[in-house]
Each structure stands twice: as structure tokens, then as C-alpha cells.
Amino acid sequence: MSVAEPGPIGNAIERVSGGQAAPGLLRRSLAVGRTRAGLMITVLVVAVAVVGPFVAPASETGFVGVPYTPDAAGTVFGTDYLGRDVWSRFLYGGVSVLALSGLCTVIGVGVGLLVALLAGYSRTWVDELLMRTTDVLLAFPAIVLALLFLAVFEPQPATVVATVAAGHAPRVARVMRAAVLDVAGRDYVRAAESMGLRRWPIRLGDLLPNVTGPLMVETGLRLTYSVALVAGLGFLGLSGLEADQADWGLMINENRLGFTVQPWAVLLPVIAIGLLTVGTNLVADGIARAAAGTDREVGG
């Protein structure tokens, strides 16, 4: 009969009487184990990419030894196919992947969300037009779309961001439109309508704040895909970077022929990209679980 351990009912009461805090999805996500694990992995990889260039022992482009030497003197992980320091190139090569995939995510999710808010709360032909257009875009796999764009336009970082973001936008729009449509049917939206509020104030004041859950999940997921796509395009040499600039995707491609002799030049970027993908995916999954209310026992 002890009341010390709060059961489900005890928790509910605590929330009613005690808190002024808004029911924060982020805070609840953090209580889910996988979000914390994912966040730790992501922060680790991001830290390597951001701090890396400042602590790299050698320069990004300088030659330090004979090519493909795993135990070259003065190096940690040996030299690459041109004789540059693998460890330094690895430390320099993360920023481009992170920055590009971050930008792709922000732009892709932003455009998708805009389309979703427009389509999900118009109740006119605008909805049809926008959604049928996204359907057409969805017919192309993201990578094919990216290759098509990059074949037509000069591969530069801006083009890479634009093509990857363009691949994300219709997918985000689909998911978010469903979320917007659900919220648009609630009575508080009708209450706002009866005050004579126009559509955009309602979109921003009532719809957007109530779809942040799926939005966060979608953002996390798109970040994961961005990392994979940007690294993939880097591997294909399509990231549009300077020829000798370090990039995790490019590193894998450059050194793959010498994998048996000098595995580190390939393994380091592969591990980093893999960890980043798993990390962001875990975070996205954790947020999704918190939003859906699974794992409430773990969370509470």
C-alpha cells in the first residue's frame, strides 16, 4: 500500500497538479533509452568532424610518405593512395558531409512542410495539384533523381544540396500533409475559423505547433538519408568538391583499390558514416516512440 512508487495514475496526477511545464516531446524522447544512445553516437561523430580540422596532425593535402603504407613513420593510420596522411584527411573530411547533409535536410524538410501546410489545409484544387505533383516526383528513386540532376547541371555543393533536398521534399510533404489534415479537423481549428482568422495565421498558430511530433521524426529520418546520399554522391565523385579536398565519401572511392594493403583509409570514413547514420536513426526512432507513447513505462 505504499504510495512512494508512482504508478500510472500517480504520474498523471503529478502532471496535473505539479507541472507548469508544457508536455515537452523532446524531454520525453530523452527519457527513451535509444534517443540517448543515438544522441551520444551522433554527438561523437559530429565532434570528430567539427573539432577534427583543428587537431589534425598533418595538413589536408600534404604528402607525408609512400602511398598505401599502413605504418608510415609519423602517421597514426598510415597514408592513402597519394601518400597523404589518412588520419588527418579523415579529421578534415567530415565537415563537408555533415554540412551538406544538414543543409539538404533543412531545405528538404522546410519545402516539404510548406507544401504540406499549403495542401493539407486548403480544401481546394490546390491540394490536388500539389499532391499529384508530389506523386509524380515520388515515382523517381531519390538517388536516380540526384544522378539525373547532376548529369544535367555542373556538380557543385549547391547543386548537390538542391538535388538531395528535392528528393526529400515530396516524401516529407506526403507524411506531413497527413498530419496537417488530421489536425485541421480538430475543433480548435474551427474555433479559430469562427473568429474569422485567415488561413496562414491558422496554419502557423494552430496547425504547425501541433504537428511538431511527426515533424521531428521526419527531420531525423531525412537527416539519416541525407548522410547516406551525400556520402554516396561523394563516393561517386559527384559532390562537386575541389579535387584534393578531403571528404569521407570521396575517401572511400579514392582508396578502395588499396583496401587489402591499407584498409584504414576506407574503414575510418565507413565507420564514421555508419555511426552517424545509426545515431541519427536512433534519435529519430526515439522521438517517434515518445510521440506515439510506446515505451511509456521506460519513459516514466
Partner 1 sequence: MSEARSEQRGLRVRGLRVSTSAGVPVVDGVDLSVPGGTVLGLVGESGSGKTTVGTALLGGTRRGLEIVGGSVLLEGTDLVTLSETELRSWRGSRVTYVPQDPTTALDPAMRVGNQVREVLDCHDYGSGPHDRARRVSEAFEEVGLPTDDAFTRRYPHQLSGGQQQRVCIAVAFATWPALVVLDEPTTGLDVTTQALVLDTVRRLTRQHGCAALYISHDLAVVSAISDEVAVLYAGSVVEQAATDELVRRPRHPYTSRLVAAVPDLSGDRELKGIPGGAPSPSTRPSGCRFAPRCELVVPECTTELPELRLVADGHHARCIRSADVTPAHVRERRRIDEIDSAPLLSIHGLTARYGRTPVLHGLSLDVPRGTCVALLGESGSGKTTLARTIAGLHTDAEGELHFGGNRLPFGAHQRDRETRASIAYIFQNPYSSLNPRRTVGDSIGRPLRVLRGVRGAELERRVGDMLERVYLSAAYAQRYPDQLSGGERQRVAVARALISEPTLLVCDEITSALDVSVQANLVGLIEEFRQDLGLTLLFVTHDIALVRNVAQQVAVLQEGAIVEDASTEQLFHHPSHDYTKELLKTTPRLVS
| CB of residue 6 to partner 1, shortest distance in Å | 7
- When binding is defined by CB under 8 A, the residue of 136, 187, 243, 260 that contacts partner 1 is 187
Answer yes or no whether residue 123 interacts with partner 1 by CB under 8 A: no
Q: Kindly state whether residue 26 participates in binding partner 1, applying the rule CB under 8 A.
A: no
**Among 29, 86, 178, 206, interactor with partner 1 by CB under 8 A:** 206
3-state secondary structure of 79: strand
Cell matching residue 16: 496535473
Please return the burial class of 280, using the count of CB atoms within 10 Å of its CB with bins 0-12, 13-18 and 19+.
Answer: buried
Ranges within 207-226 binding partner 1 (CB under 8 A): 209-210, 212
Q: How far is the CB of 259 from partner 1 (least distance, A)?
A: 52
* Amino acid found at 96: S
**Among 14-22, 159-167, 223-231, 238-246, the segment contacting partner 1 (CB under 8 A):** 14-22
Q: Which of 3, 73, 136, 152 binds partner 1 (CB under 8 A)?
A: 3
Number of residues that bind partner 1 (CB under 8 A): 33
Phi, psi of 183, rounded to the nearest 5 degrees: -70, -35
Region binding partner 1 by CB under 8 A among candidate stretches 12-20, 35-43, 54-62, 74-82: 12-20
Considering the complex, state which of residue 198 and residue 242 has its C-beta at the smaller distance from partner 1. 198
Interface with partner 1, residue 293, by CB under 8 A: no
> According to the binding rule CB under 8 A, does residue 154 interact with partner 1?
no
Dihedral of CA 265/46/281/8: which sign? positive
Does 287 sit near partner 1 (CB under 8 A)?
A: no
81 grid coordinates = 593512395
Q: What residues make contact with partner 1 under the rule CB under 8 A?
A: 1-3, 5-10, 12-13, 15-16, 19-20, 22-23, 186-188, 190-198, 206, 209-210, 212
